[in-house]
Chain A
Amino acid sequence: AQSVAQPEDQVNVAEGNPLTVKCTYSVSGNPYLFWYVQYPNRGLQFLLKYITGDNLVKGSYGFEAEFNKSQTSFHLKKPSALVSDSALYFCAVGGDKIIFGKGTRLHILP
């Protein structure tokens, strides 16, 4: 069975500082990994994905994620946080069916 874990319910970061949102996964075979963002009262929006190739994946709004096969991790990163990055972030894994983590609320402090 495939699954993802997001160990932090909330992450607080000061504006301008780098941010990391953690995700670990469990899947047999090569994983398809995703990050999505949800703003209040909205559906989810795609940020980036890893299927194969370079371990550092670049996505929307300046976000990137690092795939680490040995640690089964896919952490989301951004070099300099903005207040507008405050939202709920979901890591997901899968192919035919996509399984989501419980989400991490990112709070950027002005």
Chain B
Amino acid sequence: NAGVTQTPKFQVLKTGQSMTLQCAQDMNHEYMSWYRQDPGMGLRLIHYSVGAGITDQGEVPNGYNVSRSTTEDFPLRLLSAAPSQTSVYFCASSTLRGAEAFFGQGTRLTVV
């Protein structure tokens, strides 16, 4: 079991570029989420999904898109990168409502 795998681990983008952060889990978890972590701000929820084909917005969804076509994958798309999106991004998954969440190792994104 690899758990929750995020790729890439590091990325530098230029303002205006688009990219997709990948998240995959091999635990057959229904729930998946994306967070961003910024100093002094804790973790803020971007988008989440309670199952394939179902997504919803979190606390800070603007500038990000998600889709959930399979149980395993939950990619996060940055449409037009901005310096304010410089952050560490974490993907998480859990089996069901109220269950322990498993986190990936994070993607450190810098937008210049």
Residues of A that sit less than 8 Å from B by CB: 6, 9, 32, 34, 36, 42-46, 49, 51, 90, 95-103
Query: Could you give, for residues 24-60 of chain B, a 1 whenever the CB lies within 8 Å of some chain A CB and a 0 otherwise?
Result: 0000000101010000111111001010000010110
Number of interface residues of B (CB under 8 A): 26
Residues of B that sit less than 8 Å from A by CB: 4, 31, 33, 35, 40-45, 48, 50, 56, 58-59, 90, 92, 97-98, 100-106
User: Which of A44, A51, A99 lies in contact with B103, CB distance below 8 A?
Assistant: A44
Nearest-Cβ distance from residue A23 to partner chain B, whole angstroms: 12
Which residues of B lie under 8 Å from residue A9 when comparing CB positions? 40
Nearest-Cβ distance from residue A40 to partner chain B, whole angstroms: 12
- The number of inter-chain residue pairs (CB within 8 angstroms) is 58
Q: Given the complex of chains A and B, what is the CA–CA distance between A26 and B17 in angstroms?
A: 38
- Given the interface pairs A43-B105, A49-B100, A51-B98, the reply to whether A96 lies near B31 with Cβ below 8 Å is yes
Which residues of A lie under 8 Å from residue B92 when comparing CB positions? 44, 98
Q: Give the dominant DSSP class at A's interface.
A: loop
Nearest-Cβ distance from residue A4 to partner chain B, whole angstroms: 9
A–B Cβ pairs within 8 angstroms, 29 of them: A32-B97, A34-B100, A34-B101, A42-B106, A43-B90, A43-B104, A43-B106, A44-B92, A44-B103, A45-B103, A46-B100, A46-B101, A46-B102, A49-B98, A49-B100, A90-B43, A95-B98, A96-B31, A96-B50, A96-B56, A96-B97, A97-B45, A98-B101, A99-B45, A99-B59, A100-B42, A100-B43, A100-B45, A103-B43
Q: Give the dominant DSSP class at B's interface.
A: strand
A97 near B56 (CB under 8 angstroms)? yes
B105 near A90 (CB under 8 angstroms)? no
Looking across the interface, which residue of chain A has its beta carbon closest to that of B43?
Answer: A100
